[in-house]
Structure 1
Amino acid sequence: MNKNIIKVLDEIEKEKGISKDILIEAIESALASAYKKNYETNINNVEINMCKDTGEIKTFTRKTIVKKALKPLSEISIEELQTSDKDKFKIGDTILIETTPKEFGRIAAQTAKQVILQKIREAERNVIYEKYIDKERDIVTGVVQRIEYGNVIIDLGRTEALLLPNEQIKNEEYYKGKRIKIYIIEVRKTSKGPKIFASRTHPELLKRLFELEVPEIHEGLVEIKHITREAGKRSKVAVYSKNERIDPIGACIGDRGSRIKSIMLELKDEKIDIIRWSDDEKTFIANSLSPAKVILVNLFKNEKTAIVIVSDQQLSLAIGKEGQNARLAAKLTGWKVDIKSESEYKKNNTNSDCNLQKDLAK
């Protein structure tokens, strides 16, 4: 049995990468607890030794040398010592006495097996944790395994990810076997293994999808400056390129819209507006209201408010359905956006035609 244990430990060290010394230490600790349980002794008095070469297991009890032993579990009289030990030790010293029970081999074998299985499970959980902690704040592909109480459980191969209701795209259909890309927001270490929390609504999911589909973004030639999302409905992505020869919007859209269509398809046909970023705040705010065409932007920096003028025909487009376009533009730019029609602007300003022309000239 002992030789078999050592052989098993050697194989585990080679295949699983678990140190043999760590396994032996764990077995010794577990055997000390088993000894206490089966022989009703003080665990602090017991020391288990397992030979790493032969697997031989011995039990030692720590006893204090006294003149007359009144507590045989923790004391030994000096007269009981072997002749060779009487010259080495004196009264008051502590000595280890071998006390290996004859039937302890069976207990040792069962305990060692349990420890080995436990350590293998722990090692495998640690491998999975280390793998996915590196993928935190990144995307992975998984398969919907089941749905429990509104939570979507996604199979990632050797583990699962949890998609909570508030991280799901509203009205997106999740069914067993469906392949989806998810954004890992947190990997939590627990006693039962890593717990992975995922999202389909996070703006970073959209950013990672662009990095996968658009080589210019992956290579750093095009930069995503800002993203805002109303998941499953509409998003705005502000892009920029230092290289004047590269059109950042065209790069993101792709030939005949191939790149943007692929991303939209992954996100339940979520509409995506690609916005040209600018360090000029007026220009950026005007761009953010795409596809509407802006006539004028007036900034009130103290209130962080932008008054935006559009033609009467463009007003509903600028505001968007239920105010969505204006709301996303405000989130994207960080400015409160107040949209007015050209006729309203003229009506509320004296010499409006003249003022509008002056403003446009600015």
Structure 2
Amino acid sequence: MFDLKVINSVLNELEEVRGIPRASIIEAIESALATAYKKEYGKKGQIIRTTFDPNTGETHFFQVKIVVDDSRVTFNEDEESKDASASSETDSLKDGRVLYNPEHHLLLEDAHKIKKDAQLDEEIIFPIESKGDYGRIAAQTAKQVIMQKIREAEKTSVVAEFGKREGEIVTGMVQRMERGNIFVDMGRATGLLPYEEQIPGERFSQGERVRAYLYRVEESPRGVFLRLSRSHPKFLEKLFEAETPELSNGAVIIKAIAREAGYRSKIAVLAVDNHIDPVGALVGQRGVRVSTVMSELRGEKIDIIEWSAEPKKFIEEALSPAKILNIVVDETQMSAVVNVSEDQQSLAIGKGGQNVRLAAKLTGWRIDIQSVKGKELAVAESSPIE
């Protein structure tokens, strides 16, 4: 009935190439054979199980019966028919009992004749006759169940593999583009880089290598999809972690990130070790580390500042490269009024208000930029850090 050479070849390929455990596939085959047997030869209420040896091709079928007594079952069909909720031999009556079915149940006294210490609800297994010819319908059923189990096992394996990598940078090849969305071949799964998660202005070609932040693993009827992002602040953080040993070993930590992907970002860092310059650690010798990150982000400008628990100092740093004359803070309202000289106004505000907007997002404070004479020039509201 089985071509053992083909089956073992498939089992080995699924385990080695796709990472699906051999035992899981054998379990799927056994389940399929039991389903096919019951469909062709089984009786109502029967529990059929199968064992399959891929080395010899031997298949053994068993019928399972549950040990019961009158506290578990009723022998009165009239009683069951009066209970609208009891629609089959395994549906419960109002008192929790079910109608006795000799194909499904085994009375306790009879079970003791087979096994002296048999207990209620225990399963007693009986070998049954193997059938060599399952029929066309049964064979098709077996094939369908096997394919379904293989898909389920593979999906579980893929979810387990990529679930461990959630929150990390992953690499794949551009598969296709549809309506602005990019589908990325990740090997055993497909990554989706939505239009809104891309860096504005960047373009990819089919077959091109792409790196992105894996922020969610999703299961769907069509398979497993990996949600990717290149505009997420965490992508920037992970890129720096890959370039900066001080970040990966915990000597320097990133306290906050404010990002407008493709244009400009601000990062606030803090050194756990006082002997380390946190800003210098991210910049790198001759700027090599920050340059590598900027290159991956298609030239996005990156401001790296030192985080401070002192609001005035932190806000001043966040507004760099502008020079600040004076800052008045209102800690109850989390707002700050910042005075700048005329020649520093454009730097403090930034193109389209970008610098003050990012500073407000980075610090979590509302920032009001004013001239020396107190004229309001720009206001940026704080927003939650992503």
Q: TM-score range by the shorter chain?
A: 0.7 to 0.9
Mapped to 1, the partners of 2:174 and 2:10 lie a distance apart of 38
- In structure 2, the CA distance between the partners of 1:269 and 1:116, relative to structure 1 (3 Å rule), is same
List alignment gaps of at least 5 residues for structure 1: 64-73, 77-86, 89-93, 347-362
Q: Give the C-alpha shift of residue 60 in structure 1.
A: 6.8
Give the secondary structure class of the aligned counterpart of 1:189. strand
**More moved, 247-256 vs 321-330:** 247-256
More helix by share: 1
Q: Is the 8 A contact 1:2 1:56 kept in 2?
A: no
Percent sequence identity is: 45
Deviations 1:195-253 (A, max 9, x none): 11011111000000110111221222221110010111111000111333322112211
Q: Distance in 2 between matches of 1:177 and 1:198?
A: 17
Which residue of 2 is the match for residue 144 of structure 1? 174
Query: Separation in 2 of the partners of 1:60 and 1:225?
Result: 62
Aligned residue identity for 1:30: A
1:18 maps to what in 2? 21
> 3-state DSSP class of the match of 1:130?
helix
Q: How many residues are paired up?
A: 319
Say whether the 8 Å CA contact 1:297–1:308 is kept in structure 2. yes
**What pairs with 1:56-205 in structure 2 (closer than 5 Å)?**
56-57=58-59, 98=128, 100-101=130-131, 103-104=133-134, 115-205=145-235
* Amino acid in the other structure paired with 1:8: N
Is 1:323 aligned to residue 353 of structure 2?
A: yes
| Contact kept in structure 1, 2:11 and 2:22, CA below 8 Å | no
Match of 2:249 in 1: 219
Structure 1 pair 238/4, CA: closer, same or farther in 2 (3 Å)?
same
Contact 2:40–2:138 (8 Å) recurs in 1: no
Q: Please tell me the root mean square deviation across aligned C-alpha atoms, in Å.
A: 3.5
Which of 263, 279, 303 matches 1:249? 279
One-letter code aligned to 2:338:
V
Please tell me whether the aligned partners of residues 337 and 370 of structure 2 are also in contact (alpha carbons under 8 angstroms): yes
Q: Give yes or no for contact 1:27–1:111 (8 Å, CA) kept in 2.
A: no
Equivalent residue in structure 1 for 2:31, among 21, 29, 41:
29
Deviation, 1:154, is 1.2
Return the offset for 1:283.
Answer: 0.3
Match of 1:285 in 2: 315
TM, length-normalised to structure 1: 0.76
- Say whether the 8 Å CA contact 1:2–1:54 is kept in structure 2: no
User: How far is the alpha carbon of 1:36 from its aligned partner?
Assistant: 5.1
User: Is the radius of gyration larger for structure 1 or structure 2?
Assistant: 1
Q: What is the distance in 2 between the residues matched to 1:97 and 1:244? A: 74
CA contact (8 A) 1:184 1:198 kept: yes
Secondary structure of the equivalent of 2:354?
A: helix
Q: Distance in 1 between matches of 2:285 and 2:125?
A: 83
For 2:34 and 2:309, how far apart are their aligned partners in 1?
69
Structure 2 unaligned regions, length at least 5? 66-100, 104-112, 115-123, 377-386
126-135 or 112-121: bigger deviation:
112-121
